[in-house]
Amino acid sequence: LWSIWINIAGSPGAVMWFFRDTLGRLVSFRTASDKLHLELRDPPGFLLWRWDSDDAFTNLTNPGWHHLLVAANLIAITPVGQVFLDDAALAITEINAPTTGDIDWTSTDIAVGAHTADTQFFNGDMAELYLTDEYLDISIEANRRKFIDAAGKPVDLGADGSAPTGTAPLIFFSGPTDDWHTNKGSGGGFTEIGALTDAATSPSD
């Protein structure tokens, strides 16, 4: 289950990472074609789900703040993958349809806003990053309302991000810039590489 608010600032045609673990099992980035991309793999590295957005995302084609909400239940008999942007189903092209299996969450490190090699940094603003190994059926509006309200604004996820499911997510970045990168979830600490700066706007504006 992944929720994030993003405002892409520029760099069309450049790969920009949302997150990546060291093993390449949890991977999401904006491609060189400016498409949103996600792929999930099991412990041996087999693909369980991979997709690209049909639309391109740059500061010109899709400017301003957007809310991306992704859910996957891949241990079900009929595996499910769901993607919503700004509270509406996002048009995607599945390179690999959802496949039954266990997502590998065992990597020792994960990078947010960059590749784990400290390259291809995200150019833009992020807010309320939530990532965890639980599942909610986000085709149900009430479940989406745990992250985005009817006016299209962020919902308070709680001090540790536990409001949506009752359990703190593995990764939860929230709050002001000077403390944003401190993981308020249960998955351990992060190290800041470079310097974060305040966004000129927020998704709550």
pLDDT of residue 139: 98
What does the pLDDT look like over 156-168, one tens digit per residue?
Answer: 999 999 999 999 9
Q: What is the pLDDT of residue 157?
A: 98
Which two structure tokens, joined as six digits, stand for 46? 């087999």
- Percent of the chain topping pLDDT 70: 100
pLDDT value for 108:
87
Query: Please, which residues have CB within 8 angstroms of residue 20's CB and are 6 or more apart in sequence?
Result: 26, 27, 28, 29, 110, 111, 114, 115, 116
What mean pLDDT is predicted for residues 38-47? 97
Average pLDDT along the chain: 96
Q: What is the pLDDT of residues 59-110, one digit of tens each?
A: 988 999 999 999 999 998 999 999 999 999 999 999 999 999 999 999 989 9
Q: Which two tokens stand for residue 66?
A: 């957007």
Tokens of 198: 């305040």
Of all residues in the chain, what percent are helix, strand and coil, respectively (each to 5)?
5, 35, 60
pLDDT for residue 10 is more than 90: no
Q: Whole-model pTM above 0.75? A: yes
Q: Give residue-wise pLDDT tens across range 61-72.
A: 899 999 999 999
Q: Determine the average pLDDT of the residues in 176-180.
A: 92
Contact by Cβ (8 Å): 127, 11: no
Q: Judge whether 140 and 23 are in contact, CB under 8 Å.
A: no
The pLDDT value recorded for residue 194 is: 85
| pLDDT tens sequence across 120-147 | 999 999 999 999 999 999 999 999 999 9
**What's the whole-number mean pLDDT along residues 25-43?**
97
What pLDDT is stored for residue 11 in this prediction? 82
Which residues, 6+ apart, have CB-to-CB distance to 193 below 8 Å?
114, 118
